Structure 1
Amino acid sequence: MNPSGTNQKVAVGVESSGVEVNVQGSNGQGKKGTLTPRNSNWKPPACWYEPRITPKELKGTIEGLEKMPGFFGIGPTFAQVYKTIFQTHKYDDYNMKKQGKGQFWVAVVNKNRKDEPEAQSCNRLPFWVDEGETPDEPLAISSKILAEYAYDELPVPDTDITMNPSGKQTVNLDTWIWLDKARFKPVSAKASLSSIGLSATTTAKPVSLTIEPGTQDAKVHPASGECRIAADGSIGTPYSDDKKNQAPPCGVTYLRATNQTGPHPLKATVTWEISWTSSDGDGGALPTGTYGDTTDVTVGEVQSINR
């Protein structure tokens, strides 16, 4: 029997974290999307360790297994294994003499990533850490882990673009595209673990909108397809009649009708730069994130155009 296996870990630990998250800057919209890191090799942590159990609580949990046989009567068997570890082998009577002088740290799982294989990488049994000390464990909770966890909680809005003309588009007629700058402002999420007085705030700042027309029979404006955010916070420029002879600073021109191909999936993706600060003075940058939505665009062809 391997006492560090998943079932055993759950029996003497907890899966839900004590971390609390508060979001700011969602403009009353609530949490909409989840950012995708541009760095495909990076993800927020799937699990970590945090202080959660006192000696009395651990003793009560393990001794309680003796009274709860569970599946196939294995409760007492697990209890005996744990008692060997925490009562006599590694600790003396569950470290009861240190009650109030520290806690056992346990593995917890990021609720957003509980189904990922990485969520099983925190497979240590509860381990003791004296009050005020930092455990020698790379996945022990830290301000950076809190900041990375908050990354998943950032309340980024849906990428609802405005187009002119709206609705059906016309071959060779410029389509102006812009975003409501009142919605696309910096947003943040603060993750806190009150038991150790540690918190981190992660902030996402919109920097550009990327347009992908969904077909090669189109040209984008600018040619890169990336519309940078202006100094006033706007992304793209709303169309007005006095601009009818100008090319849009952000937009697309379709060159062929969709009569045979069906609508084009125009994808609009906002890029967000991510930074973080913390209560212990640490901070820095996290991988840039993106979030986008797709709009089906139908393109028609006419002989004359009045705008």
Structure 2
Amino acid sequence: MRSRNRALTVGALATACLLVSGPAFAKRGPGGFETGANTSAKRSGHTLESRITYSGGTGGGGKSSGNVTPVGNWTPPACWYEPMSVQEFQKKVEGDYDEVVNDPQQPNYAKSATGQFRDIYKDGKYKDYNLENADKGNFWVSVQNPDRLDDPAAFTCSDLPFWVDNGDTPNVPNAVTPEVLAELAYNRITLPDTEVTLAPEDVTKVNLPTWAWLDKATFKDVAVTATLDVAGLDISATTTATPVSLKLEPGTSDAETYPASGECEVNDDQSIGAPYAKGKAGETPPCGIKYLRSSGDGTYKLRATVTWRISWTGTGGAGGGLPDGTFGTTQDITVQEIQSVNR
């Protein structure tokens, strides 16, 4: 029963925390919303969702298999504020209030806290949810990033829902903007796998240069567009990932890479490296590996990681760069000793 009561009182407890000490709502409660890529989170019959929608994200001709990982400690916003129409806000708050006060399993303090919150907008500061000014502005509410609900930063958008006149800029950090949309789109970029083509393929020989390349048809720009068109606010941003280099990690220290850094730059035609062709046996590959020791009865784990440059453009001509991202996969490589025959 204890766990059930905890689930039932999340919204009210969150409200109480806001009224008393200021942290943001947990996973639900008046003004505290979760968001997903064109999905909604259901809570006791009410729909809590950000109105941000996403399109695009799957790029290249290869099999898409993962999301870009930012280089360094950068992460997309853990929370933000976005507008909600007066009518929607009223329905949300009244629905939550009815749910809590009519539930006999809710403790009195939860009912009281929920009632105090409702009073701010029904009978207090705003008077009947400011319905008489419904065409002049909106309530702005905090939204939590569902990918970062365990991050304390998700609770830093701690302002109670507040009124903003049409055309005014909310005076809070993380009010949704094209740049915020671009940052949220970052983690929704789905990248193609990075299994490189090798020659020799899968099985190579000790001290034999192995050519590695990625075809231009597979690795090309990938973009995601995030849009928020609600309550009179219509903004969008497109975040684009462009491949810039391939890093080869042989899976053993008994190997050399070409070039020595292991970083193969993207060619002008968006390919990486160069395919092996007959007659190139005596040449050094522009991108490749030379193993110096046999893998024995096992294999080496060759890891191929592509670095992607991230940029964005948005409503009103806004734009800029975001931290580079990476995505990589591994493949098994068998390395055999070269057999010689004495005559």
TM-score (norm 2): 0.81
Q: Which residue of 2 aligns with 1:34?
A: 67
Counterpart of 2:142?
Answer: 107
Secondary structure at 2:180's aligned position in 1?
helix
C-alpha separation between the residues in 2 aligned to 1:27 and 1:271? 15
Gaps of 5+ in 1: none
What corresponds to 1:122 in structure 2?
157
Distance 2:151 2:221 in 1: 29
Q: Which runs of 5+ in 2 are unaligned?
A: 1-15, 35-48
1:277 is matched with which residue? 313
**Aligned match of 1:192 in 204, 227, 238?**
227
The residue aligned with 1:177 is: 212
Is the 1:159–1:270 Cα contact (8 Å) retained in structure 2?
Answer: yes
Indicate if the aligned counterparts of 1:214 and 1:264 stay in contact, CA closer than 8 A: yes
1:131 shift after superposition: 1.4
1:82 Cα shift? 0.8
Shift of 1:130: 1.2
User: Deviation digits for residues 47-76 of structure 1, max 9, x if unmatched?
Assistant: 211012415335533542455327534553
Range 93-102 or range 157-166, more displaced: 93-102
Quick check: 2:85–2:134 contact (8 Å CA) kept in 1? Answer: no
The verdict on how the C-alpha distance between 1:244 and 1:113 changes in structure 2, with shifts beyond 3 A counting, is same
Q: Which residue of the other structure, out of 24, 28, 44, is the alignment partner of 1:10?
A: 28
Greater CA drift, 167-176 or 70-79: 70-79
2:285 alignment partner AA: P
Aligned residue identity for 1:127 = F
Provide the aligned C-alpha RMSD in A.
2.3
Task: Answer yes or no: is the 8 Å Cα contact 2:212–2:274 preserved in 1.
Answer: yes
Cα pair distance change 1:30/1:295, threshold 3 Å: closer
Contact 1:69 1:76 in 2 (8 A): no
In structure 2, relative to structure 1, the CA distance for the partners of 1:46 and 1:255 (3 Å cut) is: same
Aligned residue identity for 1:108: V
1:30–1:114: structure 2 CA closer, same or farther, 3 Å change rule?
farther
- Work out whether residues 31 and 154 of structure 1, in 8 Å CA contact, stay in contact via their aligned partners in 2: no
Q: 1:70 to 1:111 in 2, by over 3 A?
A: farther
Distance in 2 of aligned mates of 1:7 and 1:59: 13
Structure 1 range deviating more: 117-126 or 84-93? 84-93
Contact 1:12 1:61 in 2 (8 A): no
TM-score normalised by the chain length of structure 1 = 0.90
Give how far 1:9 is off: 7.6
Count of residues in Structure 1 that have an aligned counterpart in Structure 2: 303
Taking structure 1 as reference, are residues 177 and 274 closer, same or farther at Cα in structure 2, changes over 3 Å only? Answer: same
- Identity of paired residues, percent? 44
Residue 224 (str. 1) matches residue 258 (str. 2): no
Q: Matched residues in 2 for 1:235 and 1:286: separation?
A: 23
Matched, 1:134 2:166: no
Paired residues of 2:57 and 2:188 also in contact (CA < 8 A): no
- CA offsets 1:236-282 (integer angstroms, 9 cap, x no match): 1111111111111100000011227x432211110111111111211
- Quote the Cα distance in structure 2 between the aligned partners of 1:70 and 1:185: 58
| AA in 1 matched with 2:55 | N
The AA in structure 1 aligned to 2:102 is M
| Partner residue in 2 for 1:144 | 179
- Give, in whole Å, the separation in 1 of the partners of 2:58 and 2:26: 41
